[in-house]
A and B are shown apart, each in its own frame.
Chain A
Amino acid sequence: MNANPFSLERKTILITGAGSGIGRATALQCSAMGARLVLVSLHGDKLSRTAELIGRDDTECYPVDLSDYDRLCGLVGKLPELDGVFSNAGIVKSLLAKFSEKNDMEQIFQVNTFSHINLVQQLIAQKKLKRGASIVFTSSMSGVFAGLTGGSLYGATKAALVGYTKALALELAPRGIRVNTLHPGMIETNLTDNTALSRDVLDEDARNYPLGRYGKPEEVACAAVYLLSDATAWMTGTKLLIDGGYSVK
Chain B
Amino acid sequence: MELEDFVVEFADQFDETDPSEIDAETAFHDLDEWSSLIALSVMNMVEKKLGKQLNFKEMKAMVTVRQLFEYIQSK
Cα of A99 to Cα of B40 in the assembled complex, Å? 10
What number of residue pairs across chains A and B have CB atoms under 8 A from each other?
35
B36 near A196 with CB under 8 A, answer: no
Complex contacts, B54 vs chain A, CB 8 Å: 196
Q: Does B17 contact A (CB under 8 A)?
A: no
Q: Tell yes or no: B41 within 8 A of A by CB.
A: yes
- What 1/0 mask marks residues of chain A from 221 to 249 whose CB sits below 8 Å from any chain B CB? 00000000000000000000000000000
- By a beta-carbon cutoff of 8 Å, the part of chain B in contact with chain A is 36-37, 40-41, 43-45, 47-48, 53-57, 60
For chain A, what secondary structure do more than half of its interface residues adopt (helix, strand, loop), or is it mixed? loop
The answer on a CB contact under 8 Å between B56 and A150 is: no
Whether A95 sits at the interface, judged by CB under 8 Å, is yes
**CB neighbors of B among A183-238 (8 A):** 195-201
**When the two chains form their complex, are residues B53 and A96 in contact, meaning their CB atoms are under 8 A apart?**
no
Complex CA–CA separation, A107 to B5 (angstroms): 29
Contact with B along A89-117 (1 / 0, CB 8 A): 00000111011010000000000000000
Nearest B residue to A202 by beta-carbon distance?
A: B56
- Contact of B40 (CB < 8 Å), options: A94, A198, A200: A94
Contact A98 B41 (CB under 8 A): yes
A-B contact pairs, 21 of them (CB 8 A): A94-B40, A95-B44, A96-B41, A98-B41, A99-B41, A99-B44, A99-B45, A149-B36, A150-B40, A150-B44, A196-B43, A196-B53, A196-B56, A197-B55, A197-B56, A198-B55, A198-B56, A198-B57, A200-B57, A201-B36, A201-B56
Closest 9 CB pairs of A and B: A198-B57, A99-B44, A198-B56, A196-B55, A201-B56, A150-B40, A198-B55, A96-B44, A196-B43
Smallest CB gap from A149: residue in B: B37
Residue of A nearest to B45 (CB): A99
* 7 additional contacts (CB under 8 A) given A101-B48, A201-B36: A95-B44, A96-B44, A99-B44, A99-B45, A196-B43, A198-B57, A198-B60
A125 to B48 alpha-carbon distance, docked (Å) = 40
Chain A positions near chain B (C-beta within 8 angstroms): 94-96, 98-99, 101, 149-150, 195-201
- Interchain CB contact under 8 A, B40 and A196: yes
Q: Give, as a whole number of angstroms, the nearest-CB distance from A30 to chain B.
A: 34
